[in-house]
């Protein structure tokens, strides 16, 4: 997919780059050198590819975005979480987050769309709907800019839980995943990659059909359809039962246990009966539960339940024998909630006008 009239250099295989080189009147081995810079050294700026002739570097820069994306801003929170605001080639913006973990682990959280068509009512990213899909090259540039920000360090884990419903941008996401896991390109294990979905059924089926060991996280947020309807509007909301049947299919096809993401919202989905039903469903469908204490973004109709309610909710699930973890959102104090940094910038700009 082209953006602002150009394709992206990142993502091409060595074979494609050799073909491009010969088609441009260069020796084929130059394509292998370019692939080496990208996939071994994390370099895509042609001016840094020191063993290429100057004319070839110029040609590369003219032909491709290399890169098309730049870091426009960054916020850091006390726990070391860093959020980058990325400006795309056409001026749109997305966010990616670098999340440190125990044992010196590093996780990147990537976006897949500019805005989001699902428009979950508690989410800043979905407020304005979808602006456009990201190209595979843009998703890969997010990954690369994260590596540069981390001091040329590759992440241990990748999660697609940033802005957007990735499975609604299936072809570009699948192409990016292919480049990330191809041993000749970035060579990451699919088991270290998690794709999150709001439960978009047609995309879940296609994702299962890839037959790869990616992790799938389903943002369920409610264990019954009536409560879910208060959080996720039509037409992109599917029945809980059908989503979980599709999760069964994923487990069968990919051999990976699915995670049910559940954002706890005060007075909405935090009753003991919600916990009991959620635990029952998780056990029935061999899924893990990840509870997320809602990150209050200021204003809005939702709030985080008190600590004792959160702890009791977790305990009910654990006592019922389901696998449960609790994530207290990191970086709340630095606009690290999904979509906030981007929104802050846009609102700032509008005020300037
Ligand atoms: S929570 Fe995810 S799916 Fe829902 S609007 Fe936000 S980005 Fe989209």
Residue 127: pLDDT above 90? no
Q: Could you tell me if the CB of 164 is within 6 A of ligand 1?
A: yes
Q: Could you tell me if the CB of 109 is within 6 A of ligand 1?
A: no
pLDDT computed for residue 332 by the predictor? 42
pLDDT computed for residue 104 by the predictor? 93
115: alpha, beta or left, given left = phi > 0 and alpha = psi -120 to 50?
A: left
Task: Tell me the CA distances in angstroms from 285 to 39, 109, 195, 199, one per residue in order.
Answer: 38, 26, 18, 15
pLDDT bin (cut points 50, 70, 90) of residue 348 is low
Instruction: Give me ligand 1 centre to Cα 312, in Å.
Output: 26
When the pLDDT of each residue in the chain is averaged and rounded to a whole number, the result is 92
Residue 191 φ then ψ, to 5°: -70, -15
Residue 307 φ then ψ, to 5°: -55, -40
Percentage with pLDDT > 90 across the chain: 85
Sequence-ordered alpha helix ranges (H) in the chain: 14-23, 29-41, 54-63, 136-149, 170-181, 201-209, 225-231, 240-254, 272-284, 307-319, 340-352
pLDDT bin (cut points 50, 70, 90) of residue 340 is low
Residue 10: pLDDT above 60? yes
Q: Closest by alpha carbon to 138, among 220, 60, 68, 213?
A: 68
For 44-84, the pLDDT digits (tens) are 999 999 999 999 999 999 999 999 999 999 999 888 999 99
| 171 vs 168: CA distance, rounded Å | 9
Cβ atoms of 10 and 68 within 8 Å: the answer is no
- How far apart, in Å, do the first and last CA atoms of the chain sit? 32
Task: Report, as an integer, the average pLDDT of 228-235.
Answer: 94
pLDDT computed for residue 126 by the predictor? 83
pLDDT computed for residue 312 by the predictor? 97
Q: Which atom of ligand 1 is nearest to the CA of 162?
A: 7
Tokens 């990954």 correspond to 143
In the three-class reduction of DSSP (H, G, I as helix; E, B as strand; rest coil), residue 282 is classed as helix
Evaluated on CA atoms 110, 115, 117, 118, the torsion sign reads positive
pLDDT computed for residue 99 by the predictor? 93
Instruction: Give me ligand 1 centre to Cα 337, in Å.
Output: 12
Q: Could you tell me if the CB of 163 is within 6 A of ligand 1?
A: yes
pLDDT computed for residue 124 by the predictor? 85
Q: Could you tell me if the CB of 114 is within 6 A of ligand 1?
A: no
Cβ atoms of 305 and 52 within 8 Å: the answer is no
Cβ atoms of 175 and 182 within 8 Å: the answer is no
Task: Tell me the CA distances in angstroms from 108 to 145, 270, 285, 290, one per residue in order.
Answer: 11, 29, 28, 18
Q: Closest by alpha carbon to 128, among 171, 85, 163?
A: 163
Active site positions, annotated: 95, 338
Q: Could you tell me if the CB of 220 is within 6 A of ligand 1?
A: no
| 275 vs 227: CA distance, rounded Å | 13
Task: Report, as an integer, the average pLDDT of 296-301.
Answer: 67
pLDDT computed for residue 79 by the predictor? 85
Largest distance between two CA atoms of the chain: 69
pLDDT bin (cut points 50, 70, 90) of residue 336 is very low
Residue 298: pLDDT above 60? no
Q: Which atom of ligand 1 is nearest to the CA of 161?
A: 2
Instruction: Give me ligand 1 centre to Cα 127, in Å.
Output: 9
For 137-160, the pLDDT digits (tens) are 999 999 999 999 999 999 999 999
Percentage with pLDDT > 70 across the chain: 92
Task: Report, as an integer, the average pLDDT of 176-188.
Answer: 98
The one-character DSSP state at 325 is: E
pLDDT computed for residue 335 by the predictor? 43
Residue 351: pLDDT above 50? no
pLDDT computed for residue 352 by the predictor? 47
Residue 205: pLDDT above 60? yes
Instruction: Give me ligand 1 centre to Cα 208, in Å.
Output: 21
Residue 110: pLDDT above 70? yes
94, 109, 115, 116, best to mutate for ligand 1 pocket (most atoms within 8 Å of CB): 116
The one-character DSSP state at 329 is: P
pLDDT computed for residue 331 by the predictor? 42
96, 97, 110, 164, best to mutate for ligand 1 pocket (most atoms within 8 Å of CB): 164
Residue 349: pLDDT above 70? no
pLDDT bin (cut points 50, 70, 90) of residue 346 is low
Tokens of 122: 């508690």
Residue 334: pLDDT above 60? no
pLDDT computed for residue 27 by the predictor? 96
111, 122, 126, best to mutate for ligand 1 pocket (most atoms within 8 Å of CB): 126
Residue 258: pLDDT above 80? yes
Q: Closest by alpha carbon to 131, among 84, 159, 94, 170?
A: 94
Task: Report all structural domains of the chain as residue ranges with CATH numbers, in order of start.
Answer: 7-65 (1.10.150.530), 70-352 (3.20.20.70)
Tokens 């088609």 correspond to 23
Q: Could you tell me if the CB of 116 is within 6 A of ligand 1?
A: yes
């Amino acid at each position: 997919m082209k953006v602002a009239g150009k394709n992206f250099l990142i993502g091409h295989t060595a074979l494609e780059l050799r073909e491009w080189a010969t088609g441009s009147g260069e020796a084929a081995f130059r394509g292998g050198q370019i692939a080496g810079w990208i996939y071994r050294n994390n370099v895509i700026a042609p001016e840094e590819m020191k063993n290429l002739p100057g004319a070839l570097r110029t040609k590369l820069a003219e032909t491709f975005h290399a890169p098309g994306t730049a870091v426009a801003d960054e916020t850091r929170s006390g726990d070391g979480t860093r959020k980058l605001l990325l400006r795309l080639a056409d001026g749109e913006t997305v966010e990616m987050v670098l999340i440190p973990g125990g044992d010196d682990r590093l996780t990147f959280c990537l976006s897949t769309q500019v805005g989001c068509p699902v428009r979950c009512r508690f989410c800043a990213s979905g407020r304005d709907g979808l602006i456009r899909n990201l190209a595979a090259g843009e998703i890969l540039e997010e990954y690369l800019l994260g590596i540069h920000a981390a001091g040329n360090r590759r992440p241990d884990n990748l999660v697609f839980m940033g802005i957007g419903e990735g499975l609604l941008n299936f072809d570009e996401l699948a192409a990016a995943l292919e480049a990330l896991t191809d041993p000749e390109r970035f060579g990451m294990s699919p088991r270290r990659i998690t794709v999150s979905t709001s439960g978009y059924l047609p995309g879940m089926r296609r994702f299962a059909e890839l037959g790869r060991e990616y992790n799938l996280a389903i943002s369920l947020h409610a264990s019954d359809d009536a409560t879910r309807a208060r959080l996720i509007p039509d037409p992109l909301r599917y029945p809980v039962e059908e989503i979980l049947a599709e999760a069964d299919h994923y487990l069968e096809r990919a051999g990976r246990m699915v995670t049910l993401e559940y954002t706890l919202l005060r007075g909405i989905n935090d009753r003991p009966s919600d916990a009991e039903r959620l635990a029952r469903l998780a056990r029935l469908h061999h899924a893990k539960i990840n509870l997320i204490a809602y990150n209050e973004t200021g204003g809005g109709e939702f709030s985080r339940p008190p600590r004792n309610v959160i702890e009791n909710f977790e305990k009910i699930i654990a006592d019922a024998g389901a696998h449960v973890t609790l994530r207290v959102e990191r970086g709340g104090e630095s606009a690290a909630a999904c979509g906030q940094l981007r929104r802050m910038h846009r609102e700032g700009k509008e005020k300037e006008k």
